[in-house]
Structure formats: structure tokens, C-alpha cells
Amino acid sequence: MLELGPLTIHYYALCIITGIAIAIWLGGKRFQYKTAQGQSVVSEVAIVAVPSGIIGGRIYHVISSPNAYFGKGGEPIDAFKIWEGGLGIWGAISIGLLGAYLRYRSLARTLELPSFAVFADALAPGILFAQAIGRFGNWFNGELFGKPLDSWWAVEIPMRYRPNGFSQFESFHPTFLYEAIWCSLIAVLIIKFGNRLKAGQSFALYVATYCLGRFFIELIRIDTANTIAGLRVNVWVSMLVGAGAVLYFARASKKSA
């Protein structure tokens, strides 16, 4: 963290704020191709969607990692310390998207706006870049890294951040970097080829491809996580959400242009 006199700035929070700002800016630029009020509409929706996403992300994180806050040695009050890390993307996207939909529908009553699917497509690349930037916050917090790795791209983790059983290792897979790169690649792909897709497909492509990358990334992470049938919960969520996105993508392809 950065201390400026009495002011303390947490790098994790700074990464999240920067990512949100870029998502709003890029989303507005892209939505302007659909309506003249593009930037103002995105900004209006963000007033509801951003806090909804942060709350949803935190709720998902706490629910999926309850022992860290309510188990032995846990502190329930820590569940509110978002600046220390811990925003589940599934909760952030689902609740944030719900908040965006409700606000967008309200605006659509007085403005002539395209479908919400078109709006979501415009936001997809910006959200991906926001996720990529947010992952660097995990680097500052020394969290969410993978298995031990002896290579030039490995990340060195201080002793205090290493999980039990890994104290003898110094360098690990930078899984947060893998995810940042993957998200950026998907964003570029959607920006380049998204105009060839039908309404809703760009957002579905974002979700499906992100889930694909997240599936493999989760398999090499070593942070504590709840499991089902031997697999981390987020592995199962990646499969289920990804499958749903693929089905929606296929269904949207049958709609008239």
C-alpha cells in the first residue's frame, strides 16, 4: 500500500478503480456506435452496476470461502475488508449485470435505446480489461498464485504469503498474470471480430472463453478453496457457467440480424 501522510492507498483498490474507469470509458466509446447517448448511458448504468458488482463479488467470495471469516481463527469483520482482496468474479458479473439490466431498462423507458444484449456486447471488452487490471491487485497482495515453478517468468512470493506445505519454495506460477493475459486476448478478439456477431453473442463469447481459461488456471492454483468431488468449486462453476454461455451463443446465432 501507498501512504501519503494520513492517506493510505491500497494498490488492490487502485487496480480495481482503474479497471472500472477503463471499462466505463471503453464501454461508452463502443456503445456510441449504437446510440448518440452512448457515453452518458454507460455512465448512468455504472452508478448502479459498479457497486452492485462489488457487493456481489464480495458476497460470492465470502460464501465460497467461509472458513476464512467464520471458521477457526477467522474474523467475521474481515468480510468487509475488500481492500485486502477477495472479489469473486462470478458474483461480480451476475449481480453487476442484474444491476445494469435494471438501470438500463429504467433508462430505456424514456430513451430510444437498443436491446440490453447490444449494450452488454459493448461492455464486454472493457469488463475484460478491468478484470485483467484487477488481477495485478492480487500480485500486490501476494495472493492467488499457482503451484511452485522454477522458471524465468515465475513470481517470487514472500514467506508470509506461502500456504502451509509450500514454505520451502520461493517461486510460483503467476496465475494472476495468466488470467490478465487471457482476459486481454479475449477483449482484443471481441473488439476485432465482435461486429460480425449477433446481439448478445459478444458477451456470451466473453463468458464462455473466460470460463475456459479460468478452468485451467484453477487447476494450478494452490490457495485454500472448497472442493466438490475433489475439484475446486470454481472449476465446477467455470464448467457450468461456460456451458450456459455456449448454449446462449448458439441460440443467439439463430436470431434474425
The three state secondary structure string of 189-239 is HHHHHHHHCCCCHHHHHHHHHHHHHHHHHHHHECCCCCEECCEEHHHHHHH
pLDDT at 208: 97
Which residue matches cell numbers 452496476?
Answer: 49
Amino acid in position 186: I
Is 228 buried (19+), middle (13-18) or exposed (0-12) by CB count in 10 A?
exposed
Judged by average pLDDT, the poorest of 76-85, 114-123, 153-162 is 76-85
Which residue matches cell numbers 460464501?
Answer: 63
pLDDT at 194: 92
| Mean predicted confidence (pLDDT) in 129-151 | 91
Neighbours of 167 (CB within 10 A): 10
- Between the ranges 40-49, 65-74, 77-86, where is the mean pLDDT highest? 40-49
State the residue range of the domain holding 246: 2-253
3-state secondary structure of 163: coil
The yes-or-no verdict on residue 74 having pLDDT over 80 is: no
Which residue, 50, 72, 71, is CA-closest to 62? 71
Number of domains composing the chain: 1
**pLDDT-derived band of residue 7, with 50, 70 and 90 as boundaries?**
low
**pTM of the model as a whole:** 0.90
Task: Report pLDDT digits (tens) over 180-229.
Answer: 999 999 999 999 999 999 999 999 999 999 999 999 999 999 988 888 99
- DSSP code of 73? T
User: What is the overall mean pLDDT for the chain?
Assistant: 89
- Give the percent of the chain with pLDDT over 90: 65
Q: Helix count (H) and strand count (E) of the chain?
A: 8, 6
Give the cell for residue 224: 485454500
Give the cell for residue 22: 477503463
Higher model confidence: residue 224 or residue 174? Answer: 174
3-state secondary structure of 2: strand
The yes-or-no verdict on residue 4 having pLDDT over 60 is: no
